[in-house]
Amino acid sequence: MSKKLGLTAAGAVLALSLAACGGGGAGSGTSNNSDKSAQDLSIGVSMPTQTSERWIADGKAVKSQLEKEGYTVTLQYANDDIPTQSQQVDQMITQGADALIIAAIDGTALSSQLDAAAAANIPVISYDRLIRDNENVDFYVSFDNFAVGVAQANALLTGLGVKNDNAPDGTATGPFNVELFAGSLDDNNAHFFFDGAMSILQPLIDDGTLVIKSGETKIEQVATLRWQQETAQKRMEDLLTGSYNDGSLVNGVLSPYDGLSRGIITALQNAGYGPTTEGGAKPMPIVTGQDAEIASVKLIDDGVQSSTIFKDTRKLAEQAVIAAKAFLEGKTPEANDTKTYDNGKKVVPSFLLPVETVFKDDIQTVLVDSGYWTAEEVKAGQAK
Ligand code: GAL
């Protein structure tokens, strides 16, 4: 039964008075659940895709942590297909979800769902990717996404040995041939990652330390629709044949996500890049990443990929659960950022988590000691 129908007159008065105290989200009537126990409340969790292992981990972590709190959970994946996600969220609303946690495929494609959620007083938590162009986003949980891009650029420079403030021991002056990749343009995060990275790289492009032989430096030129590994591989192949057929070598690749990094590395390997110790004449460039996906952690351990950015999805899930719980108890979740994430309609109160750069030497301390991956999983390059 929908929450609205279940609302008693007394509950309505309570809801109104709590709303007047500032409780509830943009959907506002969220406090009409504050007299219900967790067992009576259900939460819809909508995730983009199962092709990336990080979203599988996110889905599992959110579901199990919500269930631990006693909530009933509907978790759905949308195969990176926008109509599928819209339809899944529609269904969660009609089936009476009391709160929604959504990691959008396309940040601008869920407006009618968000309007419907607001009309039914269902609070919406935007998970990792900001939902844009709609005022009915009640809260945002994510990482410091600009800082991710900065960390990726610094990891690239550290790998190259370029001297800069963040790599004070570096002595290399270049010039280095570097190519840039970005994520999906419909994902708000892709812009933050790229802007963060370019805030560090642009001055070095301008002074000639870094050379982008393809000339492709705008996010529209380097973006990767839906973050597809194959698309990145294809673009890297095209870059190699188009801009490096004169015998010059790629020294570094800015990649914003491990899945893309693996596609890029495959293209490079197919073109003869690899470990020089094995007789190859073309050293594998410094390739960055993000998400600490297990296949990439193994590549880092093997010295193939240079770095990744670790974002602890367990902690992100925890923040999503804390926010959902607050809304369902008629409270406002605590934000630690109320400035950065303007979704085009409003600045969405956010809780942002910090990120960590992982090179080979950090795998043990950052990923294994924290229990994110076991040493066996790292060796196997596969989650158990
Ligand atoms: C982004 C996310 C990244 C990465 C990417 C591809 O939205 O912030 O961590 O997972 O999607 O899935």
85 CA to middle of ligand 1, Å?
Answer: 17
* Domains of the chain (ranges, CATH numbers): 18-143+313-353 (3.40.50.2300), 145-290 (3.40.50.2300)
- Tell me what pLDDT residue 279 has: 65
Question: Which amino acid appears at position 100 of this protein?
Answer: L
* Percent of the chain's residues with pLDDT above 90: 84
257 CA to middle of ligand 1, Å?
Answer: 7
Between helix 111-119 and helix 82-94 the angle, nearest 10°, is: 10
Q: What is the pLDDT along the chain (384 residues), one digit of tens a residue?
A: 333 333 333 344 344 433 333 333 444 444 467 778 888 899 999 999 999 889 999 999 999 999 999 999 999 999 999 999 999 999 999 999 999 999 999 999 999 999 999 999 999 999 999 999 999 999 999 999 999 999 999 999 999 999 656 556 677 888 999 999 999 999 999 999 999 999 999 999 999 999 999 999 999 999 999 999 999 999 999 999 999 999 999 999 999 999 999 999 999 999 999 987 666 679 999 999 999 999 999 999 999 999 999 999 999 999 999 999 999 999 999 999 999 999 999 999 999 999 999 999 999 999 999 999 999 999 999 998
CA-nearest of 35, 20, 30, 57 to 297 is 57
- Testing ligand 1's pocket by substitution, the residue of 106, 189, 228, 309 carrying the most ligand atoms inside 8 A of its CB is 189
The dihedral sign for the CA sequence 362, 255, 186, 218: positive
Please check whether residue 131 is in contact with residue 107, taking contact to mean a CB–CB distance below 8 angstroms: yes
- Testing ligand 1's pocket by substitution, the residue of 46, 105, 290 carrying the most ligand atoms inside 8 A of its CB is 290
128 Cβ closer than 6 Å to some ligand 1 atom: yes
Rounded to the nearest 5°, which phi and psi values hold at 326?
A: -60, -50
Looking from the CA of residue 145, the nearest atom of ligand 1 is: 8
